[in-house]
Amino acid sequence: MPWVKLVVYESSTSGIYMDGYLPLYLPLVQKFYQTISRKNIIGLLFFESSHFLTELTAILCNLNSMNKRLLTDGRNIIYMLSLCIWMLQSCRNDHTDVAPTNVQLTTEISSDGSGYVKFIATADNAAYYYISFGDVSGATPFKSISGVADHIYNNSGNYEVVVTANTNEQVFTSFSTSISVSLNVPIPSGGYTSASSYSGMTLTKAEEFSTSSIDPSNWTFENGDGCPNCGWGNNELEYYTSQNAFIQEGYLIIKAKVESRGGKSYTSSRMITKDKFAFTYGRVDVRAIVPKGQGLWPAIWMLGSNINTVGWPACGEIDIMEMIGGNGREKTVYGTAHWNDGGYKSSGGSKTLSQGLFSDAFHVYSIEWTDSNINWLIDDVSYYSVPITSYNAAFKKDFFFILNVAVGGNWPGSPDGTAKFPQIMIVDYIRVFQK
C-alpha cells in the first residue's frame, strides 16, 4: 500500500498543524478529513515515501490560491485531498526511474604474473556500479561510482565477473562475463649462460628446477618473520611463506608481494639447503634475474653448516650476490664475506653495469672457492677476491645455500610509491663444480 507524507498548515497560527504519514486507504483518508475539516487549512504538502533508498519526490498543492469557500467546505476537502493524491501519483508515473542500458565491461589483465586486473564498467543511466570479482564465494561486491575497479587474483584460473549497473538500489541491470587470469611469470629470453663444464672439475650438484614443484629433498623453507631475531636481524619487513615460491617451466620463481601476514605488510620466500646439501670448495654458478624497486633486497648466499653450534658470524657467510633496489641501484650487485676474528669482520666488492639493470636480463653470479681464496665473478668476469688464511678459517668448512627476496631492512630501506609489487626473482639453475 503506498504512503504519502502530509504537512498540513493552519492559517490561524501560521504554523504546522499536522506532520505525518498517511496510507492511501479510503477509511483513513476519511478519518483524516474528520480531523482537519473544521480547521482553516491553507495548504497541504505531500511527499512520496516508499522504499528507504528511493528518492523522495515532493509536490506542493497550494490550496491558498483557490476559492476559500472550497477550503472551508468540509464536503470538498476529500475532493481536494484526492486531487493532490492523484497529482502525486501522476508525477510518480511521469518520473519512473529508468534502468541502465548498454552495460559493458572492459578488462585490462596484467601479463606480468601479478594477477592484477583493472575493470572499467560503463552503462547508460547508471549512477553507480557493483562488481563481483568471482574469486571469493560470498564476498561483498565492490561498489564503484566511476565504474573503475582494481583487483588482484591470487590464483590462476577462469573467473565469472558480475557487474550491476544501478540507477538506485531497486532499479539496476546486471551483466556477467568470464575472464582468464594467469599468474605465470614471463620468462625473458637471452642473457648470459655459463659453461656446462670446466677443465679439471666435475659437476657434483646441479639444481635445474626441472621438477613440477620444489623438491623437498633439496630445499627447506624458513618461514615467518625471524623472531625472536625479528626482522631476520636486519629489520626486514616481510613474512616468509612457502606459498611465494614455485617452479614454472624449469625456473624457480620467488615472488615478493604486498600481503598482510603475521603482522607484516609483505610476503616472500626464503629457501635453504641446510642438512640436505652442503659442500666445501668448488665453483658455483647461479643464473638468475633479480627484481627491482625501492626496498627490494634479493640475495643468493651461503652460511656455514655449523651455525647452530658456533652461531653467526663465527660460522662464516659468503654472499654470492646481493642487490638493493631503488634509485637506479639495480645496476650494482655485491659479493661479500663475513666472519668472526675477535669480533665481526667482513670484506666485499661490487660490480656496476655500464648500461641497463641487473633486473633486465639473466646474468650468472659465480664464486671460485678454494682453500686459499674466494673469487667473485659476474658472467665469468672476476670483480673481487678475498684470501683465506688462519684469521678467517671459517671458510675451510661446509656451507649450504640460501635463496631469498627480502623487503625493506637496514640496507635498502623501506619500499615507497615507486616500488611496484609483486616483484620476482627468477633462478634458472644452481651448479656446483669441484675438483
Contact 197, 203 (CB under 8 A): yes
Question: From CA 376, how far away is CA 386, in angstroms rounded?
Answer: 9
Catalytic residue positions? 317, 322
Give the CA angle between residues 224, 227, 233 to the nearest 5°: 105
